[in-house]
Structure 1
Amino acid sequence: MPCKPLIGLNADFRAAARTTPAFAYIAEGYYKSIIKAGGVPILVPPQVDEPSAHRVLDAVDGFLFIGGADLDPRNDGFMLHPSVRPLDPGREASDRMLMAEIAERRMPVFGIGTGMQLINVQQGGNLFLHIKEDLPSAVPHYDVQDTNHRHTLDVVSDSLVGRVYGDGEIRVTSRHHMAIDEVAPGFRVTARCPDGVIEAIESEMIDWFAIGTQFHPESEAASALDIRIFEEFVDAVRDRLDHGDQTDTSDFQLVA
């Protein structure tokens, strides 16, 4: 039986309220998708220091960054827009700390929603803070009445997303008001909404499997094809395990 790699998943965090204690949590779709793809999910609550984060990453083989509220633009030198709903500060600090170490280790990583935006800003890209203002001709990417809001997608054929979805019209679940503006060096755009909003990025670095989707393949409304993104990710993690710590990852590089 093939080895089942251990996949870390960051947890969201909610502070204590008057009638409820503080708690870490994660939506079911993320860890269920990892299980279906052949991995073993390891849930990681926010870490408080770098030694703890390093120890977590010593124990897992790949990492999935989940979606959630918004990255605080002040952490990247930008002003806070009124539409921004910042992540819990502890979660964001932990996520950034983990992501920096993941990049240093070239550990396989998959970011969804806010997770994709985290990969992009940590690697030197930046974000539009509010699509309605920055890209006024864009179609709606968030519907407060429908958490499974969907729109079409244009994909680049010679990419992981292209391999997963193939040709023809594609519809994905989308719920975001921020989006990638400048793409980080070493990454390329592999899917957009027809309005131009970036919906997927992939690493072009031969020694690092890293992919991000702004859309949500773990959603309850996801199609049967969406699980294949998780399968590609878990396969890449498994390939890295099979090849040890070798830097040549051509067997699973994203660029065809």
Structure 2
Amino acid sequence: MSLKPIIGLNADFRNTARSTPAFSFLAAGYFQSVIKAGGIPVILPPLQDEESIQAALDTMHGFILIGGGDLDPRNDGFMKHPSIREMAPIREKFDRLLMNEIAERRMPVFGIGTGMQLMNITQGGNLFFHLPEDLPEAVPHRDAQDLNHRHSLNVESDSLVGRVFGDGEIRVSSRHHMAIDEVAAGFRVTARCPDGVIEAIESEMMDWFALGTQFHPESGAASALDIRIFEEFIDGVRERVENELRLVA
């Protein structure tokens, strides 16, 4: 029986609002995709100290950074654009501490949506804050009236997303107004929308299995092929764990 990797997922957070208490939550598509792909999902609420994050990661084989609200540009020395709808500060603090520890460990990581943006910016890249202004010729990358909004994708064949989608027309579930501008050192672009907006990145570092998608393969509007991204990630995590076990044996 093959190993089932333990895959961590960060949870979103909502502050107290009127009669609703504060709560932490996760869209079901994330953990359902991990289960379908052969992993065991473990969900972390926002932890606020490095020691707790380190102890939690000690029990895991890989991590998926979920999407959500916008990162606050002021945390990276930029002005806040009026279009920004930032995530709860308690979550952003957790996500940044978490990403820094994942990078330090070279733990396998898959960033989705905001998760990919966080991975890129913490590793030295930067972001467009509002595509309609920064790239006015870009096609719409979100539709407030259609949560199932999709657009086409061009992929690099020699990549994980290339193995998943192969040749032919590809359409993915997309809902974002921020995107990667400059890619962090050690990563390469492996998929773009035809308008040039970066939709996937992957690590070129031999010691770090890391990838990100701006589109959402966990979405209910995703295609049957999209689950293969989770399978590729979890297969890669499993291979690394089994190699480590063979070295110890």
Q: Which category of TM-score, normalised to the shorter sequence, fits these structures?
A: over 0.9
Distance in 1 (CA, whole Å) between partners of 2:33 and 2:22 is 26
Q: What are the residue-to-residue correspondences of 1:162-201 with 2, within 5 Å?
A: 162-201=162-201
**Counterpart code for 2:139:** V
Q: Deviations over 1:115-154 (max 9, x none)?
A: 0001000110000000000000000001000111000000
Q: Distance in 1 between matches of 2:23 and 2:239?
A: 35
User: How many equivalent pairs are there?
Assistant: 247
CA deviation string 1:154-188 (max 9, x = no partner): 00010000000000000000000000000000000
Alignment match, 1:74: 74
How many angstroms does 1:103 deviate by?
Answer: 0.5
Structure 1 unaligned blocks of 5 or more = 248-256
In the TM superposition, structure 1's runs of 4+ consecutive aligned residues that sit over 4 Å from their partners are: none
Counterparts of 1:73 and 1:114, CA distance in 2: 13
Tell me the SS of whatever aligns to 2:84. Answer: coil
Matches of 2:216 and 2:161 in 1, distance apart? 13
Distance in 2, Cα, partners of 1:218 & 1:246: 32
**Distance across 1 between alignment mates of 2:160 and 2:108:** 14
Q: 1:246: how far off?
A: 9.5
Question: Structure 1 residues 147, 237: CA separation in 2 closer, same or farther (over 3 Å shift)?
Answer: same
| SS of residue paired to 2:8 | strand
CA distance in 2, matches of 1:246, 1:114: 35
How far residue 96 of structure 1 moved from its aligned partner, in angstroms, is 0.5
Equivalence for 1:225: 225
Q: Which runs of 5+ in 2 are unaligned?
A: none
How big is each residue's C-alpha offset from its partner over 1:95-128, in whole Å with a ceiling of 9 and x where there is no partner?
0101001011010000000000010001100000
Which whole-Å CA distance do the structure 2 matches of 1:18 and 1:220 have between them?
30
Describe the superposition over 1:207-237 as per-residue Cα deviations: whole angstroms up to 9, x where unpaired: 1100000000001011111000000110111
> Which amino acid in structure 2 is aligned with residue 145 of structure 1?
Q
Quote how far apart the aligned CAs of 1:245 are: 7.9
2:53 equivalent to 1:42: no
- C-alpha root-mean-square deviation of aligned residues, in Å? 1.1
Please tell me whether residue 55 in structure 1 is matched to residue 55 in structure 2.
yes
Query: Compared with structure 1, are the counterparts of its residues 14 and 246 closer, same or farther at alpha carbon in structure 2 (3 Å cutoff)?
Result: farther
1:41-190 alignment runs, 5 A limit: 41-190=41-190
Q: What CA distance in whole angstroms lies between the structure 2 residues aligned with 1:117 and 1:196?
A: 16
Q: How far is the alpha carbon of 1:37 from its aligned partner?
A: 0.2
Tell me the distance in 1 between the aligned counterparts of 2:174 and 2:148.
Answer: 7
| CA distance in structure 1 between the partners assigned to 2:21 and 2:244 by the alignment | 42
Amino acid at match of 1:211: L
The one-letter amino acid of 2:190's match is T
Find the counterpart in structure 2 of residue 209 from structure 1.
209
The residue type paired with residue 108 of structure 2 is: P
Aligned partners of 2:70 and 2:93: how far apart in 1? 13
State the distance in 1 between where 2:231 and 2:92 align.
Answer: 27
